[in-house]
Amino acid sequence: MTAGMSQTRKRRVPLGLRGRLLGMLAAAAAWSVGFVGAAPAAIAEDVQSKQWYLEPMHAEEMWKTTTGEGIKVAVIDSGVNPLTPSLKGQVLKGLDASGTDGDEYDDNGGHGTTMAELIAGTGKGGGLQGLAPGAKIIPFRITDTALQNQKSVNAYDTRDAIRSAAESEAQIISMSFSSEFPTSEEREAVEYAQGKGKLLFASVGNNAKKGNKEGFPASYPQVVGVAATDSSGKVSTYSQHGDTVDIAAPGDGIPTWCDSKFEKYCDSNGGTSQATAITSASAALIWSAHPDWTANQVLNVLFDTAGRGDWEKGTLSNYLGHGIIRPAVNILKGKGTPGAPDISPLTKEKTSGSTASPAASASASSQPEKKDKAQDASMAGSSTEKNDGSQLGLILGGVAVVLVLGGGAFALIRKRRTA
């Protein structure tokens, strides 16, 4: 990164805990809200049976309270096919920023459509079940490396897409892509979107073992960087780590559409793309349940309720950020402090575009203190979170297990659609 781009780094509060914090935890434990004997989710014996995270996240229980209705999510990706069984009636008018033939409903590889289904798919026809099936998708099409190599494209597609998403009715902007090359135009678009009161999520990238270079837009201060975990709670081996990680979500082994024919789903090693979509859907559920909150308050609750085992609240991990998402802790148990409506949980700075919420019940001083991330890569998987009494131990056959860094396989890396 050049000196001129140094301002794009996320601001961290150096409190000297780097190297001491343990960075892994058990996923089933982290997502648990303390329910005992909860009935298994009724998942069809098809692609949905491979969406292993829905049951431990208590998806069906949450849907009795909210499905994300009233929330629109901008999906900036390869396009979104609105005609898949799971997305019929779920996709609104967006924008094709690619500069190529077609429109935002054309998806050359199925990536954007997969992300949209993971967010707001209804699961009809045996398709992917979205975590927020009551939400709506606004697609913004950009290019990937394959398309860039074949055709003349819009060099400023991500900038244009982010700006258009900022002007749209979307409250959340989901960006399942990562690039090593930040631009001032893209950064300004992100700042503009935050000023419009949007909540932005982006993949940190899948290149942990091939340089682990900082990825954008996840590394911009206004964007929530999302890492991936596997089904046992270990950070995925491909998931990039460092200061750019703000939160983690399920990513491994989640199926994707195979190609532009949309005839079948393919098994997938996974990626931080899937984790980003699931995090965006989690935010949609919380925002739908609290429609008068601002983006800052929704994000603060996501951070506040994240599964972190015995970590001190507010302490950050290089691998999982604030921890693993647990929207059910808020939706089903009412936990989580929204904080001040106009203070960013990412930068601790006052944001424009935010208005005071009449439902806000806490001030900025009640937010968890943000601390440096640490580099350790293991932690005991059996604990009890002290702030709300939720059981956090991962129990397999009645035995608490200790997790170490590892597990999972590499995802195929591409320049833009990397996560």
Task: Measure the CA–CA gap between 315 and 336, rounded to whole angstroms.
Answer: 16
Q: How far apart are CA 400 and CA 113, in angstroms?
A: 38
Residue 288, token pair as written in the block: 């739908």
Say which residues have a Cβ less than 8 Å from residue 398's Cβ, sequence separation at least 6: none
- Tokens at residue 314, please? 């507010």
CA–CA separation, 46 vs 48, rounded Å? Answer: 5
The Cα diameter of the chain in Å comes to 58
Pairwise CA distance, residues 187 & 219, whole Å: 10
CA distance 110 to 116: 10
Instruction: Output the CA torsion 234→240→244→246 (10° steps).
Output: -20
Segment holding 60, helix H or strand E: helix 59-63
| Nearby residues of 36 by Cβ (< 8 Å), 6 or more positions away | none
Instruction: Give the Cα separation of 346 and 367 in Å (integer).
Output: 11
**Cα 15 from Cα 2, distance rounded (Å):** 26
Active site residues: 77, 111, 273
Token reading at 109: 């590889």
Quickly list DSSP for 99-142: -SSS-TT--SSSHHHHHHHHHH-B-GGG-PBPSSTTSEEEEEE-
d(CA 143, CA 131): 26
Please name the residues in contact with 120: beta carbons below 8 A apart, sequence gap of 6 or more: 68, 73, 87, 90, 130, 132, 133, 134, 135, 136, 137, 281, 284
Radius of gyration of the chain (CA): 19
